[in-house]
């Protein structure tokens, strides 16, 4: 295990023994597969860069979901499957909430938001954001 972590450029795990139990703690590290083109001068620059990458990834997911809904209403599990996911991710849940709050997507059964039959459809605002007519 240590060799794999070292090969990936990640720190070694921490081991702790307490009352006959062993706790193994894996520390997050920086992904060394992607070289940073310019050196970072501070921790805040790293945080800013990571935040920017996360925002662009979320925006990309939002656009992909909106594009899927052009064809018609879909459930979260259908959207997830089209994204190539085995199950609905936390990020997809968050993106759907955001799209609903922004008024770009609406529930097809608004009075039963947690229904297993719930689907999501583009609103007129969502269609106009994509440059489509209502």
Residues 61 and 111 in one domain: yes
Indicate which CATH number applies to the domain containing 132: 1.10.10.10
Count CB neighbours of 100 within 10 A: 16
CB within 8 Å of 22: residues ≥ 6 apart? 15, 16
Residues 28 and 62 in one domain: no
Residues 11 and 69 in one domain: no
Residues 133 and 77 in one domain: yes
Q: Is 50 part of any domain?
A: no
Q: Are strands 14-18 and 105-107 parallel, antiparallel or unpaired?
A: unpaired
Residues 25 and 62 in one domain: no
Find the domain containing 86 and state its range: 56-134
Q: Is 79 part of any domain?
A: yes
Cα distance between residue 91 and residue 36, in whole Å: 25
Q: Which two tokens stand for residue 29?
A: 């590290």
Residues 27 and 91 in one domain: no
Residues 29 and 74 in one domain: no
Q: Is 10 part of any domain?
A: yes
Q: Which two tokens stand for residue 26?
A: 């894996």
Q: Is 112 part of any domain?
A: yes
Q: Is 45 part of any domain?
A: no
| Total number of domains constituting the chain | 2
Residues 69 and 122 in one domain: yes
Instruction: Report pLDDT for 68.
Output: 92
Cα distance between residue 77 and residue 79, in whole Å: 5
Q: Going residue by residue through the chain (134 aa), what tens digit of pLDDT does each one get?
A: 667 767 777 777 777 777 777 777 777 665 544 555 555 566 676 666 666 665 566 578 898 999 999 999 999 999 999 989 899 999 999 999 999 999 999 999 999 999 999 999 999 999 988 887 65
Task: Give the distance, in angstroms, between the CA of residue 9 and the centroid of all CA atoms in the same chain.
Answer: 24
Cα radius of gyration (the chain): 21
Nearest to 58 by CA among 20, 13, 30, 98: 98
Residues 26 and 86 in one domain: no
């Amino acid at each position: 295990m240590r060799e794999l972590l070292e090969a990936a450029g990640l720190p070694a795990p921490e081991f702790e023994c307490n009352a006959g139990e062993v706790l193994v703690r894996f520390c997050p590290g920086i992904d060394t597969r992607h070289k940073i083109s310019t050196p970072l001068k501070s921790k805040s620059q790293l945080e800013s860069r990571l935040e920017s990458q996360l925002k662009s990834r979320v925006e990309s997911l939002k656009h992909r979901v909106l594009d899927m809904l052009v064809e018609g209403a879909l459930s979260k599990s259908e959207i997830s499957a089209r994204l190539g996911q085995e199950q609905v991710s936390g990020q997809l849940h968050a993106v759907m909430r955001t799209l609903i709050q922004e008024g770009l997507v609406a529930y097809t059964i608004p009075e039963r938001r947690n229904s297993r039959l719930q689907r999501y459809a583009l609103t007129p605002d969502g269609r106009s954001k994509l440059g489509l007519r209502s």
